[in-house]
Structure 1
């Protein structure tokens, strides 16, 4: 379910009383329902560089594709958008294999920084190591705890590529901006699963959104003055006050099917005063 920035503590909360809980007890937020936002509620639009995108792009040109992974790729949805089309994705486990996986542990403040195997400058790491360590080293290198400061999952040798650490470490000291870090490698038993992916085109993006509108959209009308004040505030920037009018409005939403819903929150597609909104509600 979509969550706006103020729900995570953004500036819209600054006008609220700060005593007690930092998060408001109730929320009604109504934002413009663009086609992309509507589609986001019922499908996944993976980044072009992601595994999800690559699998769908490969499978749609073939009867199916298989990939070996640590676990499922599509956890939350089986509906995916790629290049303006919407696809249904099936993910079927067809095999599993026991393998040895590796983890790299880095101590930023070792008791002894004398190399046993050798030392390597961070700038000289091959891509297989650089892409796993780049952001972690930059963001965490000044943080020190007892023992390993960061642990990086490398996976199996086949997944790692041309690493200088896995599976047979060539170095045990990493030099970064003049600091010397101790590197150790651990291994563990793991399971790799093979999945078969099949994709079926459902519709274009516009047709997909039209189906969602037909199934879920309703018109919010016949409001009392107090209820209208709640909804107008929600449109302007969010409504956060516990009130009878708020709960009355929430009951109106509960009379209709939500795009997504739990016991305490939900998202609805609604028309109000001639405009279309996605309504996020916490009660």
Structure 2
């Protein structure tokens, strides 16, 4: 994860507060950028078994593809890399309906560990359930309370498939692992599900040609800086600049005068050249 992504998230890597640490109010962070870095910044490379890879591959092969889901796949970027080729992907909502979504809840220390529906050893669970429950049941220090301690979002019955012993029909309410007995409950809720259509247009083949395409649109030179502004930039390259002073505002105003790769009301990412070197530059103001 790049430094600016950590800063932009506003979240700490630890789940507990650390005394004396806080998120800076302003940030200027400049990372030297290769062609591969530029490509990674503006596109995604889905795993071969992912839904993203499947729908884009189908759209490439068949001209379009459809999917039903409760969220958009390409809300961060519409540029997808498949192999060495880059595609602009359109995601069009066609129709929306209601579906049942399943959540499985685990009680790590049930007051009554007697099965009323049935009990099953963890090792005997289907793979679809072991994959979801395994990380939770492997916790060396699980949360405990008066009721169910952890909820696991299973999804819709269609997303889960036909193998689960919990969704859509609960067949067991006790799971046994390493002599520990865990109570399981299944809850349902209603959510909106949309049918999407996908189309993919090839825009480049190879990392370097695609990076050049990005440069043509976004790259600009940061020049004509004062000594104070240069100090800000050098600090940003060295590890980040976090002081809300006049020099910072002057530099960031220059940067924000250009089109950014991604820009919101309070932060953004730009591609710029400084003294002949290209930088992916994160600004938070």
TM-score (norm 1): 0.87
Within a 5 Å distance, the mapping from 1:108-187 to structure 2 comes to: 108-139=108-139, 142-160=142-160, 161-187=162-188
> Aligned pair 1:67/2:67, yes or no?
yes
Within 1, Cα distance between the matches of 2:196 and 2:12? 39
Within 2, Cα distance between the matches of 1:211 and 1:247? 30
Deviation at 1:191, TM superposition (A): 4.4
Q: Is the 8 A contact 1:87 1:203 kept in 2?
A: yes
Within 2, Cα distance between the matches of 1:203 and 1:28? 31
Residue matched to 1:261: 263
Q: Is the 8 A contact 1:94 1:194 kept in 2?
A: yes
Deviation at 1:166, TM superposition (A): 2.1
> Aligned pair 1:278/2:280, yes or no?
yes
Q: Is the 8 A contact 1:105 1:183 kept in 2?
A: yes
Q: Is the 8 A contact 1:107 1:182 kept in 2?
A: yes
Deviation at 1:140, TM superposition (A): 7.6
Q: 1:174 to 1:260 in 2, by over 3 A?
A: same
1:175-232 deviations in Å (ceiling 9; x for gaps)? 1222111112223344443322221111123222212211221111221111111111
Moved more, 64-73 or 115-124: 64-73
Q: Is the 8 A contact 1:97 1:192 kept in 2?
A: yes
Residue matched to 1:239: 241
Gaps of 5+ in 1: 11-17
Deviation at 1:97, TM superposition (A): 4.8
Within 1, Cα distance between the matches of 2:85 and 2:178? 47
User: How large is the Cα RMSD of the aligned pairs?
Assistant: 2.5
TM-score (norm 2): 0.86
Within 2, Cα distance between the matches of 1:174 and 1:189? 26
How many residues are paired up?
275
Q: Is the 8 A contact 1:108 1:141 kept in 2?
A: no
> Aligned pair 1:222/2:224, yes or no?
yes
